[in-house]
Amino acid sequence: MAEQISDTCASCAYDVRAELGEGPVWISSENAVYFVDINGQKVHRFTPSLGEACHWAAPGKVAFLMPVEDGSFLAGLPDGLYRFDPTDGSFAKLVDVESDLPGNRLNDACVDLHGRGWFGTMDDSEEAPSGSLYSITHTAQGFELRRHDTGYTVANGPAVSPDGKLLYACDTPSGNIYQFDITSEGNLENKRVFVHLPEEKGYPDGVVTDCEGNVWASTWNGGHVRCFTPEGTERVSIRVPATNITKVCFGGDDRKTAYVTSARQGVSEEILLREPQSGSLFTFRADKAGLPQHPLVLAPAEPN
């Protein structure tokens, strides 16, 4: 039984009605939340204190943004990782990913406290278990891409514990949130099921961790954000007025203001009449503070 907090329903922060909103990240230097509309092929930025928003067109289905320490983002597009520069809206390809699997695309990401990126891939038709989990690090020689786990139909999450020792990732159609140990060398070991969500609670989509190691899972076809203790017990459930909830980030001065992306994709016209703001960015006050948003670390260039 979930221990409900007092404010149990999220409200709409930005009525954008994205087709497939995903991947919110809070950039504290701008007091703004960035997120993507995958199917709409857009990057959005919303500044809550000003009520201002803007967007940039992407050259394809942009699935996530990983902040980089130079102020740019590493963006996941269907064929690889791109540098996205918000100062001019440009995209430049950096790393090929799964060029041998044209039916796949990238999906969901995070950056851990070591400045290492983690992301997944998926079958764009959501049928074949052709997706994988990857890490990406920057070295003096360039970006180093490593594949860690395979067999995902829709790889989601990922998230890393506050101490950097555990990684969480979902295979959404299975209902499973997995937990791995991260070794000192950056390998994943000891895969196990952390939480299995029954179908009536929805399917686990993006997950994030907070400062106490709780795991906040958004639910596709579930209409809730569900928070689990580090032991896997549900402790908080937040209702969101949209059926397909995709991911949470924590922002504000105390990192307790949560921002939630959602989707209109796969929602019937009947439900959209009841939930007209589906696809928008929602917000609620959390009872725990989120982690600081870590940037992807760039290695110093080798001297000539």
- Residue 225 CA to residue 71 CA, distance in Å, equals 29
Partners of residue 251 on adjacent β-strands:
257
Q: Is 154 helix (H, G, I), strand (E, B) or coil?
A: strand
- Residue 169 CA to residue 181 CA, distance in Å, equals 12
Among 205, 210, 253, 287, the active-site one is 205
H-run or E-run covering 270: helix 269-274
Q: Is 206 helix (H, G, I), strand (E, B) or coil?
A: strand
Give every CB contact of residue 254 below 8 A, 6+ residues apart in sequence. Answer: 289
Q: DSSP secondary structure string, 52-97?
A: EEEEEE-SS---EEEEBTTS-EEEEETTEEEEEETTTTEEEEEEE-
> Is the distance from CB of 53 to CB of 44 less than 8 angstroms?
yes
- Residue 82 CA to residue 145 CA, distance in Å, equals 13
- Residue 228 CA to residue 216 CA, distance in Å, equals 6
Q: What angle do CA 180, 182, 187 make, to 5 degrees?
A: 105
Amino acid at position 161, single letter: S
- Is residue 205 part of the annotated active site? The answer reads yes
What residues are labeled active site?
205
